């Protein structure tokens, strides 16, 4: 660890401050107050005078007036557009307590006043400076005014300290108000990356889909998702570069030129806010740190990473706190991401390290769990880049309110007391109001001990929430890319390339049933023996807000866990488990591994991937859902188990000689080079291209095609145009009423053989509560598959409810179909009788005890967690089953993929009935 964050400095801070305070009389009270946070001493009054020592660097900070209604609330991580009026951006020409504050933001809204002519409060956040130290960039939101048709939005603003010009970066009111723009920072070339709800790329794709343009909600469906965008320094050329379905925010630029940002991973439930990185054009997206580190400080289970910055030694500082906090109580950690992907998980090349990867940035005794934090709280932190190791920080030192003495007068005020161990342990002492001040920490040198100087007079009425120094710092590298500019066709058609070296590579371990070498050898393992046959690419669907579409949550169906999903297509998995395929760019997608029947055999992929046009992305393999092994980060993962072809110019062992390999190539790379790069297909198509016809006969080809289902075009989940040509804007959209119900209800009358009567296999012939003569009966298999509205769950058809929900057995009694009840016996086989509250037997009209009965439950035939978990349904249609041959392979495939993506009632909310 570097000097400014070393444990030694943190441990010596209390003593050195006391020594420094004795040398400077004006610091005695301050020094003693810090001693209080270290376990003893005197707490100062609010009339203290700060030290006049000059530190020759201008600083800027955001100060909030806590007397303004709403300003004292704490920003919530899940709501980037949250408006907390009462902020002001000020500059001090020197980081010195006596230097005057200059308000540089209020002129923007000076003419917006209340009825008495007083300026209305506005909001500011996400402060940053450029690399020359002459410009500030930040997000600012105008005040709210009575009578406004729409509330103002967050905009990006810039202040030039040389020209003293304050400007909104996007000049046009119309363009500026199209989204909530926050979290700006500069790239090395002057462009600006920021987070925004405008979702430009997503909205353009919505038009391609024939939907209205709107900003999709994040996956908990409370706020519009705010994701990363890029624009030129004049506010032009705005484009979306990240495609998460929840928030991507707080971007900063790493020395490498890559963008570091916080991402809320919320696929199928929140996985926390983790640190990600990518190139400025959106290529090479990967996790950097934090997925398995959310309980790494003070046992906080929802511990998140946000408000990051870069230290002079290239480490990352991150603010830590829970999703929901009701007071200003934050701390910072310094993280070693070079050697770790999680707090106790090193990158694979540094496997001998044990961690921790992160340490407290300043004080070890900050407590984010208890009501009292001996070390206080740090609201903002900024390391200087002048080589001094100094740190600016906004600090709320620990103070307590002493209990009132007995018989104290009613008007007696509680006095401030120190945060020593004795007082903290006494329940009579409570936490005093926050007193955030601005401080400068200077580490020890050979000649001096570490010191801490106040840079303003702290007040309970204000809090400093962000701070930067206006100083020059090294420019990061220019933005890089993983886009192959030679791939002009892919770029024009808006495709990127995904290459998986082997789906059998699970966290660096070979999971294939016969070993990867044998899997790649057609003589050793036949296609029918390979478990992984196809890769399915699944896309999320942007969720509209109530103003765009008022729909009921019930349209999700049995489960809302997967929200809405669409299928972008399929591609074969090669014998060695490798895949190389072109995938539409600018789309949040996930992958699933499916078997020869089109059923998912892998866990659902719980992270959104993305590609940009022409990008070439490679990953080694897959990841076990319960594993903490490094995954998803190229420089952290183990070496791929698939070493590829052993030599150049010869085929893989016992394979088609036309598919000659280059050394190190996977089979997918060889196929793409020799035959051509595959693109996704709507249909599941298998052709045995690897068998050497001089050695063995190729395996039989097969296709599961939507067109083979035999339904009308409006009953298929793809458009006519996409059936003819599957392009980058095509996808399968499966709604149960539109695409699954027609399969359940279609007529299935077999032609008569000789003199025999034709056989009617239409589902409702047997699976309905009334026979051909109109007599009440128990539906075959206790399964009612009528398309009618269900009597209990009126939003769904009876068939959907019977297939997807648990139910009770029924029986016919006296001409009525009722739930079946059976007698209850105890563990000894003796009958269990009904008793009253006193434990006395309840008797019937003939004074006989009444035996307890219970309903007989039936598990659902289908499960929302996938086709392979819905065996009660599929088994009867397979070879040897009672319904074998009734459903075609194409129909079975459609039902299987629908279940694999969640078994939703609707996957296009615009197709569903509106409230």
Distance CA 470, CA 481 (A): 30
* pLDDT at residue 318 in the model: 94
* pLDDT at residue 208 in the model: 87
Per-residue pLDDT of 65-110, as tens digits, reads: 999 988 778 888 889 999 999 999 999 999 888 889 999 999 999 9
Q: Which residue in 347, 332, 336, 262 sits closest to 297, CA to CA?
A: 332
Helix axes 28-37, 7-23, angle to 10 degrees: 150
Q: Which residue in 484, 64, 476 sits closest to 251, CA to CA?
A: 476
Q: In this structure, is the dihedral angle defined by the CA atoms of residues 568, 570, 574 and 580, taken in order, positive or negative?
A: negative
Q: Is the residue at 392 inside a domain?
A: yes
Side-chain-facing half-sphere of 598: CA atoms under 13 Å: 27
Cβ–Cβ < 8 Å for 782, 858:
yes
Q: In this structure, is the dihedral angle defined by the CA atoms of residues 76, 82, 86 and 90, taken in order, positive or negative?
A: positive
Is residue 472 scored above 90 in pLDDT? yes
Q: How many CB atoms lie within 10 A of CB 244?
A: 26
Is residue 3 scored above 70 in pLDDT? no
Is residue 13 scored above 50 in pLDDT? no
Is residue 1 scored above 80 in pLDDT? no
pLDDT level of residue 272 (50, 70, 90 thresholds): very high
Q: Is residue 682 located within the same domain as residue 799?
A: no
The residues near 836 (Cβ < 8 Å, ≥ 6 apart) are 842
Distance CA 443, CA 16 (A): 10
Residue 788 token pair:
């009618």
The terminus-to-terminus CA distance of the chain in angstroms comes to 58
pLDDT level of residue 39 (50, 70, 90 thresholds): very low
- Of residues 32 and 809, more confidently modeled: 809
Mean pLDDT of 532-540: 98
| Residue after which a domain boundary falls, among 680, 704, 728 | 704
% of residues, the chain, pLDDT over 70? 93
Cα separation values, 188 from 116, 158, 193, 470, 620, Å: 46, 16, 11, 17, 31
Q: Which residue in 576, 596, 886 sits closest to 744, CA to CA?
A: 886
Q: Is residue 674 located within the same domain as residue 754?
A: no
Q: Is residue 162 located within the same domain as residue 311?
A: yes
| Residue after which a domain boundary falls, among 661, 682, 704 | 704
Q: Is residue 772 located within the same domain as residue 699?
A: no
Cβ–Cβ < 8 Å for 201, 586:
yes
Residue 389 token pair:
């190791």
Q: Is residue 134 located within the same domain as residue 177?
A: yes
Instruction: Bin 590: left if φ > 0, else alpha if -120 < ψ < 50, else beta.
Output: beta
Q: Is the residue at 31 inside a domain?
A: no
Distance CA 345, CA 358 (A): 11
Cβ–Cβ < 8 Å for 96, 123:
no
Q: What integer best gives the mean pLDDT of the chain?
A: 90
Q: Is the residue at 562 inside a domain?
A: no
Instruction: State the total domains in the chain.
Output: 3
* pLDDT at residue 521 in the model: 96
Distance CA 469, CA 91 (A): 9
Per-residue pLDDT of 377-394, as tens digits, reads: 999 999 999 988 899 999
Q: Is residue 434 located within the same domain as residue 520?
A: no
Mean pLDDT of 570-593: 97
pLDDT level of residue 50 (50, 70, 90 thresholds): very low
Q: Is 81 helix (H, G, I), strand (E, B) or coil?
A: coil
Distance CA 319, CA 104 (A): 26
Cβ–Cβ < 8 Å for 674, 695:
no
Is residue 5 scored above 80 in pLDDT? no
Mean pLDDT of 819-846: 92
Q: Is the residue at 4 inside a domain?
A: no
The residues near 574 (Cβ < 8 Å, ≥ 6 apart) are 666, 667, 668, 671, 690
Q: Is residue 127 located within the same domain as residue 264?
A: yes
Cα separation values, 747 from 578, 712, 744, 858, Å: 41, 13, 9, 27
Distance CA 882, CA 859 (A): 19
CATH of the domain at 120: 2.120.10.30
Q: Is 430 helix (H, G, I), strand (E, B) or coil?
A: strand
Q: Is the residue at 524 inside a domain?
A: yes
The residues near 526 (Cβ < 8 Å, ≥ 6 apart) are 699
Q: Which residue in 415, 427, 430 sits closest to 372, CA to CA?
A: 430
Cβ–Cβ < 8 Å for 662, 670:
yes
Cβ–Cβ < 8 Å for 328, 74:
yes
* pLDDT at residue 196 in the model: 98
Q: Is 501 helix (H, G, I), strand (E, B) or coil?
A: coil
Is residue 270 scored above 70 in pLDDT? yes
Is residue 19 scored above 50 in pLDDT? no
pLDDT level of residue 298 (50, 70, 90 thresholds): low
Is residue 25 scored above 90 in pLDDT? no
* pLDDT at residue 779 in the model: 95
Q: Is the residue at 477 inside a domain?
A: no
Q: In this structure, is the dihedral angle defined by the CA atoms of residues 516, 520, 524 and 527, taken in order, positive or negative?
A: positive
* pLDDT at residue 49 in the model: 47
Instruction: Bin 716: left if φ > 0, else alpha if -120 < ψ < 50, else beta.
Output: beta
pLDDT level of residue 301 (50, 70, 90 thresholds): low
Side-chain-facing half-sphere of 263: CA atoms under 13 Å: 25
Cβ–Cβ < 8 Å for 504, 520:
no
Cβ–Cβ < 8 Å for 127, 468:
yes
Mean pLDDT of 562-583: 98
Mean pLDDT of 658-678: 97
Per-residue pLDDT of 305-356, as tens digits, reads: 999 999 998 899 999 888 877 777 788 999 999 999 999 999 999 999 998 9
Q: How many CB atoms lie within 10 A of CB 268?
A: 16
Gyration radius of the chain's alpha carbons: 33
Q: Is residue 792 located within the same domain as residue 666?
A: no
pLDDT level of residue 299 (50, 70, 90 thresholds): low
Burial of 472 (0-12, 13-18, 19+ CB in 10 A): middle
Cβ–Cβ < 8 Å for 133, 471:
yes
Per-residue pLDDT of 190-220, as tens digits, reads: 999 999 999 999 999 998 888 999 999 999 9
Per-residue pLDDT of 441-471, as tens digits, reads: 888 777 777 788 899 888 899 999 999 999 9
Distance CA 589, CA 538 (A): 5
Per-residue pLDDT of 678-715, as tens digits, reads: 999 999 999 999 999 999 999 999 999 999 999 999 99
Mean pLDDT of 854-875: 95
DSSP state for residue 739 in the 8-state scheme: I
Distance CA 913, CA 795 (A): 10
Per-residue pLDDT of 814-831, as tens digits, reads: 889 999 999 999 999 999
Task: Compute the C-alpha angle 870/713/495, nearest 5°.
Answer: 80
* pLDDT at residue 15 in the model: 32
Q: Is residue 462 located within the same domain as residue 515?
A: no
* pLDDT at residue 300 in the model: 61
Cα separation values, 510 from 193, 531, 623, Å: 40, 14, 12
Distance CA 566, CA 589 (A): 9
* pLDDT at residue 23 in the model: 29
Q: Is the residue at 171 inside a domain?
A: yes
Mean pLDDT of 123-128: 97
Distance CA 738, CA 144 (A): 46
Q: Is residue 635 located within the same domain as residue 748?
A: no
The residues near 18 (Cβ < 8 Å, ≥ 6 apart) are 31, 32, 34, 35
Is residue 897 scored above 90 in pLDDT? yes
* pLDDT at residue 42 in the model: 27
| Residue after which a domain boundary falls, among 688, 704, 720 | 704
Q: Is the residue at 399 inside a domain?
A: yes
Mean pLDDT of 420-432: 94
Residue 264 token pair:
């809320």
Q: How many CB atoms lie within 10 A of CB 419?
A: 28
The parent domain of residue 449 ranges over 49-415+429-469
Q: Is residue 700 located within the same domain as residue 751?
A: no
* pLDDT at residue 582 in the model: 98
Residue 278 token pair:
């990518």
Mean pLDDT of 635-648: 93
Q: Is residue 753 located within the same domain as residue 679?
A: no
**DSSP letter string over 785-814?**
---SBPSSSTTSBHHHHHHHS-EE-EEEET
DSSP state for residue 237 in the 8-state scheme: S
For the whole model, what pTM was predicted? 0.90
Is residue 7 scored above 50 in pLDDT? no
């Amino acid at each position: 660890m570097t000097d400014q964050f070393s444990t030694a400095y943190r441990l010596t801070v209390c003593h050195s401050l006391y020594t420094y305070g004795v040398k400077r009389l004006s610091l005695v009270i301050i020094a003693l107050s810090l001693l209080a946070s270290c376990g003893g001493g005197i707490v100062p009054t609010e009339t203290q005078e700060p030290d006049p020592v000059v530190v020759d660097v201008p600083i800027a900070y955001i100060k909030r007036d806590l007397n303004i209604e709403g300003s004292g609330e704490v920003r919530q991580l899940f709501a980037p557009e949250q408006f907390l009026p009462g902020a002001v951006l000020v500059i001090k020409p020197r980081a010195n307590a006596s230097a005057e504050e200059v308000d540089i933001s209020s002129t923007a809204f000076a003419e917006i006043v209340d009825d008495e002519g007083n300026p209305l409060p506005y909001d500011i956040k996400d402060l940053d400076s450029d690399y020359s130290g002459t410009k500030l960039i930040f997000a600012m939101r105008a005040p709210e005014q009575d009578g406004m048709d729409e509330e103002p939005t967050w905009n990006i603003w810039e202040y030039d300290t040389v020209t003293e010009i304050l400007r909104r970066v996007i000049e046009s009111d119309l363009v500026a108000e199209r989204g909530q723009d926050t979290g700006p920072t500069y790239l090395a070339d002057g462009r600006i990356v920021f987070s925004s709800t405008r979702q430009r790329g997503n909205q353009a794709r919505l038009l391609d889909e024939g939907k209205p343009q709107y900003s999709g909600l994040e996956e908990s469906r409370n706020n519009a998702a705010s994701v990363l965008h890029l624009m030129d320094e004049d506010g032009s050329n705005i484009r979306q570069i990240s495609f998460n379905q929840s928030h991507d925010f707080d971007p900063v630029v790493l020395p490498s030129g890559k963008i570091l940002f916080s991402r809320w991973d919320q696929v199928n439930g929140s996985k926390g806010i983790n640190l990600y990185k990518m190139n400025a054009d959106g290529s090479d997206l990967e996790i950097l740190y934090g997925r398995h580190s959310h309980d790494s400080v003070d046992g906080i289970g929802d511990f998140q990473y946000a408000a990051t910055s870069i230290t002079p030694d290239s480490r990352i500082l991150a603010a830590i706190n829970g999703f929901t906090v009701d007071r200003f109580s934050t701390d910072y950690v310094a993280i070693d991401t070079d050697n770790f992907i999680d707090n106790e998980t090193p990158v694979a090349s540094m496997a001998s390290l044990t961690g921790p990867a992160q340490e407290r940035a300043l004080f070890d005794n900050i407590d984010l769990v208890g009501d009292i934090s001996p070390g206080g709280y740090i609201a903002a932190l900024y390391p200087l880049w002048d080589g001094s190791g100094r740190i600016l920080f906004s600090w709320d030192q620990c103070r307590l309110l002493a209990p009132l003495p007995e018989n104290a007068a009613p008007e007696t005020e509680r006095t401030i007391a120190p945060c020593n161990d004795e007082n903290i342990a006494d329940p009579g002492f409570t936490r005093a109001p926050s007193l955030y001040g601005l401080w400068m920490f200077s580490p020890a040198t050979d000649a001096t001990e570490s010191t801490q100087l106040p840079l303003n007079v702290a007040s309970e009425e204000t809090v400093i929430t962000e701070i930067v120094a206006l100083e020059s710092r090294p420019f990061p590298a220019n933005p890089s890319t993983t886009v192959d500019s030679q791939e002009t066709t892919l770029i024009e058609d808006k495709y990127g390339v995904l290459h998986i070296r082997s789906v059998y590579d699970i966290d660096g371990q070979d999971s294939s049933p016969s070993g990867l070498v044998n899997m790649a050898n057609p003589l050793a393992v036949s296609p029918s023996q390979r478990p992984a046959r196809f890769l399915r690419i699944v896309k999320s669907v942007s969720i509209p807000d109530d103003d765009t579409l008022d729909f009921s949550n019930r349209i999700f169906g049995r489960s809302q866990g997967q929200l809405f999903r669409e299928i972008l297509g399929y591609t074969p998995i090669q014998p060695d488990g490798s895949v190389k395929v072109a995938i539409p760019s600018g789309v949040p997608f996930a992958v699933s591994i499916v078997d020869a029947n089109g059923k998912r055999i892998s866990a659902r992929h719980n992270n959104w991937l993305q590609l940009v046009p022409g990008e070439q992305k490679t990953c080694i393999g897959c990841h076990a859902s319960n594993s903490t092994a490094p995954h998803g980060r190229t420089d952290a993962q183990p070496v791929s188990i698939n070493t590829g072809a052993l030599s150049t110019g010869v085929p893989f062992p016992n394979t088609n000689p036309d598919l000659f390999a280059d050394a190190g190539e996977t089979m997918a790379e060889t196929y793409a080079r020799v035959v051509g790069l595959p693109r996704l297909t709507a249909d599941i198509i298998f052709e045995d291209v690897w068998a050497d016809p001089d050695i063995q006969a190729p395996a039989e080809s097969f296709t599961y095609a939507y067109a083979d289902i035999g339904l009308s075009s409006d009953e298929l989940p793809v458009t006519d145009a996409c059936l003819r040509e599957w392009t980058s804007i095509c996808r399968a959209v499966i709604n149960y009423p539109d695409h699954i119900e027609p399969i359940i209800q279609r007529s299935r009358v077999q032609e008569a053989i000789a003199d025999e009567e034709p056989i009617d296999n239409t589902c409702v012939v047997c699976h309905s509560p009334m026979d051909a003569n109109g007599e009440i009966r128990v539906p075959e298999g206790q399964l009612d598959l009528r398309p009618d509205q269900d009597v209990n769950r009126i939003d769904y058809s009876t068939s959907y409810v019977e297939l997807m929900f648990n139910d009770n057995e029924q029986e016919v009694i006296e001409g009525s179909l009722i739930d079946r009840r059976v007698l209850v016996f105890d563990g000894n086989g003796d009958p269990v009788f009904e008793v009253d509250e006193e434990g006395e037997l309840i008797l019937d009209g003939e004074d006989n005890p009444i035996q307890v009965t219970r309903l007989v439950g039936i598990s659902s035939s289908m499960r929302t967690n996938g086709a392979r978990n819905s065996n009660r349904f599929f088994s009867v249609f397979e070879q040897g089953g009672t319904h074998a041959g009734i459903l075609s392979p194409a129909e079975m495939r459609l039902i299987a993929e629908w279940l694999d993506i969640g078994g939703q009632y609707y996957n296009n909310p615009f197709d569903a009935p509106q409230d």
